[in-house]
Structure 1
Amino acid sequence: MSISNNDPTSRRGITQTLKTIALFILHQWLLIGIGVACVLAYYFPNVAKSGGIIRSEYSILYGAMALIFLISGLSVPREKLIIHLLNWRLHVLVQGLSFLVIPAFILAIVHIILAGDPDEHIDRALLAGYIFLACIPTTIASNVVMTRSAGGDDAAALVEVIIANFLGPFITAGWTVTLLPKSEEFDVWRTGDGDLSDMYRDVFKQLGLAVLLPLVVGQLIRWVWPDIVGKVLAKYRIAKISTACLILLVWSTFSSCFATGALQTLSASSIVFVVLFNIALYMFLTAVCFYCSRPPRIISGVSFTVKGKTFYPFQQMNPQETIAVCFCGPAKSTALGIPLLYAMWGPLSLYIKSKTSVPVLLYTTEQICVAHFFVHMFKWWHRRVERKSASVSDVECDGEGNANENGEKMDCPVSEAACGKDLADKGEGAGVNLSQEGNK
């Protein structure tokens, strides 16, 4: 009798457990999908490799990427794109981190490894690959998807992605050769000049057809049918398709990696080094991007007065822009990186080029996995900042007057813009922008 009485309770417990497991799987479906993609790439590399059965260099690098940016064009208001095109501070921060700060940091790490590893336990092809990785621009697809998922400003991410991938082909090749160590062991990469004309053609063709064209088409559709587009995006959760396309990009990347045999030929110590170093590198660079976007109050309060106007060049960015910077800054592009690598070092053997490409392939895949966890972290942080901002605004500035700490009404002798500045200086205002507050 006791067993029969407990049966309903047991069934409810089992049902609840199964629901919990199912919800966990649904929430982590991106990571699970990446895992499945890696397994398929390992056992069936010829399916999705470049030039393989499904011709992934077209079906995925053009098709899936075009779908991501079509959805972005449908989702992002045109006014936000124009605003961020004129946001000079955002451009300086993201492009400066991508093309100056990261290469300088990686170069220092490479020289430390060279000094501490005279027996070459770490393959020199990997070190050359890391210098190349540091010099390539930010990735095209995952930045926008992750920024949108975390509640960030995907318009800012879109603009920075387009700018970086226009600059990248002109900067990366010369910058990489300049930064390569001068020792003899790197001579093979320093003298491997290849013909870059085909690479330039392919890169800009991809940027035009897979990024700019679908983005413009999406914007036109949004402009003609704004209400219908908004309802369809909300009802069918179209943005989820962008995330699914990331799994296809990972599948294609790893298929090419396994097909060339690049991973299989490296020593276990080299593989472990690359995998762990990539995770640590991405997390460290994300922290650098965060503190550059939202510096401490002692720095954000620094101002300059020019012709009677006061400027705050280090003022904290708002949370949405901060999230965009944190996803755009540390990320690197496989879509541009691999074609550029093979074009730069065309005369070298496929074996050397494959080993050199391993840091690019693994880093660009691991960044998606780590960024998936940062999405949840930035969501939590964004909600926390918004709650603080709302509570401080209610107490300190109501638009007409102030309240002191005891809640007593006070005259507000300054403008709303100055009040917004006061919030930003206290670090409680989530990086309130002076010009935005003054226009409210």
Structure 2
Amino acid sequence: MSTTTETVEKTSLDESILSSKINFPNSEPDANNQQQGQQQDQTYRFQKFRKIARTMLSRYWFLLGLGVVIGLAWAFPQVGKAHGDIEAQYTVKWGAVIVIFLLSGLGLEVSVMLKTILRWRLHLIVQVINFVLLPFLMYGIVRFFITVHADLDMTVYKGWMIALSTSTTVSSNAIMTRNANGNDGAALFNAALGNVLGIFISPALMTAFQNDSIVFEPGTDRGNPDYVSVLRTLGSTVLAPLVVGQVIRYFFPVRVKYLAAKCRFSIVNSLALLCLVWSVFCDGVASDAFNKMSGVDLVAIIFVDIFMYLFGCAACLFVARLPWPTKFLNEPKWVTRWRFSRKDSVAIMYCGATKTVSMGIPLINVLYSESSYGVVGVLSLPLLMYHICQLFIGNFQVQALKKWVENDPVIEDGNLNNDTEVLPRTSSESMQLSTMRRRTN
């Protein structure tokens, strides 16, 4: 009996000792749990940071690349300048442009182009805004600055006129239109059409603007209006690769699609564009041309470029959607028929407001071939800054435009305009749209 009592007392004593160890705040098991919790928390934070960094890098890698190539140009200008270590006037300024437009031709769906080619009203709006409204508005702004005696270099004025006289870009506007659920077929066609027309229209605009002796003062660098040279150079670097790419795409569509997915044509296209930007900055740095520009010039270039891009976006959306005060007046039928769908409006906005570096820089090189490459570098700066601004702002516009397109009541109700073309959706897009419809119902 006593033995049993001692056993019970010993067992209770052991349990009390064990419980005291467990409840002790500085005990070893609790410290290990706390340390493991901290490690898990740190691992979670690191994984979250890595995910965010990877997302930002995949979305804005081109902008990061712009910073890298500009830094390399400042550090090693002798490598990428004209007549430099790699003879960039041929290897980059010809090779990169040919690659860009060859890949653009390979990436354009021939059947989509044939369906989209009859959308003449959409194409007319894009090209008129791009080749008429924006260049002549820029001309008016330049004349205003000259009239008020703004403290800006005359080369900046010429650079602005050249920048706004170029055609729409090929790759970035099509990619942003696609990401915003816009009509990417219309964007691709107008990109190709604009660059083909730009071979003829852009030099003609520059020739017309150069007749103004106030902007292009006598005795200063003027573009050479040799149309034979311009058409030969731009035709061989822009038009011919684009046509060759379309022909290859037509005869070998399956293989081209496989290579496009395998080799990431869009990434190669962007890398070629970065090489072109790098070479131009090398020219400017090697000739000490950028140091000749004041801080006022650089600030003016950035703000005017941002204003012109935003104005172009607003003008495109205004014309495409054509607002009407329905609270006070009944909307006429011609307004309803004129108004484009939201998908088309996104394509019109991106194509009408953007300007291309891949054609603009070759145009500057051809027009100012007799000038020093330093002058070419300074003249290219407004166009380069415009391109950077449109990439920054355009990428931020994508999410807002995507929500705007998804909330389009015309698409949800199925009442499409006769002039509206809806391209085939991917399975994921169809599932998203059907889910949205079920929620609405």
Would you call these one fold, judging by a TM-score over 0.5?
yes
CA displacement at 1:96 relative to structure 2: 0.4
Deviations 1:358-400 (A, max 9, x none): 2123222332233222233323332333xx4465x2xxx8xxx
Q: After superposition, where does 1:22-41 map in structure 2 within 5 Å?
A: 22-29=50-57, 30=61, 31-41=63-73
Letter in 2 for 1:89: R
In 2 relative to 1, CA 353–347 (structure 1 residues): closer, same or farther, beyond 3 Å? same
* Structure 2 equivalent of residue 320 of structure 1: 343
Query: How big is the alpha-carbon RMSD for the aligned residues of Structure 1 and Structure 2?
Result: 3.3
Task: Compute the displacement of 1:253 (Å).
Answer: 1.2
Which of 258, 268, 272 lines up with 2:299 in the alignment?
272
DSSP-derived class of the 2:252 partner: helix
CA displacement at 1:51 relative to structure 2:
5.9
The question of 1:257 aligning with 2:289 is answered no
SS class of match (1:125): helix
Q: Is the 8 A contact 2:104 2:170 kept in 1?
A: no
Please give the residue correspondences for 1:31-430 in structure 2 after superposition, counting only pairs within 5 Å. 31-49=63-81, 53=86, 55-70=91-106, 72-73=107-108, 76=109, 78-116=110-148, 118=149, 120-179=150-209, 181-183=212-214, 186-188=217-219, 192-222=223-253, 225=254, 241-243=265-267, 245-261=269-285, 262-298=289-325, 301-304=331-334, 314-315=338-339, 317-385=340-408, 388-389=409-410, 393=413, 420=415
2:418 alignment counterpart: 434
Whether the 8 Å CA contact 2:159–2:379 is kept in 1: the answer is yes
Higher-Rg structure is 2
Q: Which amino acid aligns with 1:56?
A: V
Change (3 A) 1:112 1:12: farther
Mark the CA change 1:353 to 1:284 in structure 2 (over 3 Å): closer, same or farther. Answer: same
In the alignment, is the contact (CA less than 8 A) between 2:92 and 2:279 conserved in 1? no
Distance 1:185 1:269, change over 3 A: same
Q: Please state how far the C-alpha of 1:65 moved relative to its aligned partner.
A: 4.1
Structure 1 residues 65, 370: closer, same or farther in 2, change over 3 A?
A: farther
CA distance in 1, matches of 2:371, 2:392: 32
How far apart, in 2, do the equivalents of 1:377 and 1:243 lie? 24
190-199 vs 212-221, greater mean Cα deviation: 190-199
1:322 is displaced (CA, Å) by 1.8
Q: Does 1:9 align with 2:37?
A: yes
Structure 2 distance, partners of 1:340, 1:373, is 29
CA shift in 2, pair 1:104/1:195, >3 Å: closer
Q: How many residues align?
A: 379
* Structure 1 residue aligned with 2:19: none
Tell me which amino acid in the other structure corresponds to 1:196: Y
Q: Per-residue displacement from partner, 1:324-378 (whole Å, max 9, x unpaired)?
A: 2121111112222222223334444444443222212322233223322223332
Does the residue aligned with 2:293 lie in a helix, a strand or coil?
coil
Q: Distance in 1 between matches of 2:96 and 2:221?
A: 32
CA offset at residue 243 of structure 1? 3.9
For 1:155-188, what per-residue CA distance to the aligned partner results, in whole angstroms no more than 9, with x for missing partners?
A: 2122212222222232223323433544276334
2:192 aligned partner, one-letter code: I
SS in 1 for 2:292: coil
One-letter identity of the residue aligned with 1:265: K
Pair 1:263–1:145, CA change in 2 (3 A): farther
Are 2:92 and 2:275, in contact at CA under 8 Å, matched by a contact in 1? no
SS of the aligned residue for 1:57 comes to coil
1:108-167 CA-partner distances (Å, limit 9, x unpaired): 221222233x2x521111012111222221123322233233332222122212222222
Residues 64 and 23 (structure 1), Cα distance of their counterparts in 2 relative to 1, 3 Å cut: farther
Tell me, in whole angstroms, the C-alpha distance in 2 between the residues paired with 1:176 and 1:436.
35
Counterpart secondary structure, 2:93: helix
Moved more, 37-46 or 80-89: 37-46
**% identity of equivalent residues:** 23
Find the aligned partners of 1:83 and 1:298 in 2 and give their Cα distance: 34
Distance 1:204 1:184 in 2: 29
Give the match for residue 427 of structure 1: none
Alpha-carbon offset, residue 47 of structure 1: 4.3
Inter-CA distance 436–382: structure 2 relative to 1 (3 Å threshold): closer
Change (3 A) 1:114 1:168: same
Name the CA shift for 1:218/1:148 in 2 (closer, same or farther; >3 Å). Answer: farther
Structure 2 CA distance for aligned equivalents of residues 184 and 360 of structure 1:
17
Structure 1 position 89, deviation (Å): 0.6
TM-score normalised to structure 2 length? 0.75
Deviation readout 1:251-292 (Å, 9 max, x if unpaired): 421332232333232112111221232223222322222222
Partners of 2:320 and 2:215 in 1: how far apart? Answer: 40
- Distance in structure 2 (CA, Å) of the matches to 1:282 and 1:312: 27
1:371 and 1:50, CA in 2 relative to 1: closer, same or farther beyond 3 A? farther
Tell me, in whole angstroms, the C-alpha distance in 2 between the residues paired with 1:155 and 1:51. 40
What TM-score does the superposition give when structure 1 sets the normalisation length? 0.75
